[in-house]
Amino acid sequence: GESVGLHLPTLSVQEGDNSIINCAYSNSASDYFIWYKQESGKGPQFIIDIRSNMDKRQGQRVTVLLNKTVKHLSLQIAATQPGDSAVYLCAEGLRGGGGADGLTFGKGTHLIIQP
């Protein structure tokens, strides 16, 4: 498969444990945030999003937390499974900002699941 990040932060967790992946975003004006999952050899896939008027949003086995005070975003994955092994990318944007497209991606975190 593809190696998409030779210098990525790595998080190693035991199968069945909860995972918390963190992201520090750069623009205090950003009002929309997305988490993507990128498996080896594939393009990023949408996981969950959150708008700046929310602090928390839950999906299936995933929760995103937003702390605007410290510009911090986190993705919590419950009961981690082997299929969760991937690189996780956070993205931020400012809706209505200059231009029609203003999504900025973080460098990603590599999640490794230990059996």
Partner 1 sequence: EAQVTQNPRYLITVTGKKLTVTCSQNMNHEYMSWYRQDPGLGLRQIYYSMNVEVTDKGDVPEGYKVSRKEKRNFPLILESPSPNQTSLYFCASSPLPPLRNYGYTFGSGTRLTVV
Instruction: Say whether residue 88 binds partner 1 (CB under 8 A).
Output: no
Q: Give yes or no for a contact between 112 and 81, defined as CB atoms under 8 angstroms apart.
A: no
User: Per the structure block, which two tokens stand in for 81?
Assistant: 């499974």
The DSSP result for 8-37, as a single string, is --EEEEETTS-EEEEEE-S-TT--EEEEEE
- Give the span between the Cα atoms of 66 and 4, in whole angstroms: 26
32 lies in the site for partner 1, by CB under 8 A: yes
Q: Which residue has the tokens 């998080």?
A: 11
**Under the criterion CB under 8 A, does residue 50 sit at the interface with partner 1?**
no
User: Token digits for 90?
Assistant: 């956070």
Q: Which of 6, 26, 53, 70 binds partner 1 (CB under 8 A)?
A: 6
DSSP reduced 3-state for 62: strand
**CB under 8 A: which stretch of 13-21, 43-51, 61-69, 78-86 binds partner 1?**
43-51
Kindly state whether residue 107 participates in binding partner 1, applying the rule CB under 8 A.
yes
Least distance (Å) between residue 15 CB and partner 1: 27
24 interacts with partner 1 by CB under 8 A: no
Work out whether 18 is an interface residue with partner 1 (CB under 8 A). no
Tell me: does residue 108 bind partner 1 (CB under 8 A): yes
- Using CB under 8 A, pick the residue from 26, 28, 41, 53 that binds partner 1: 41
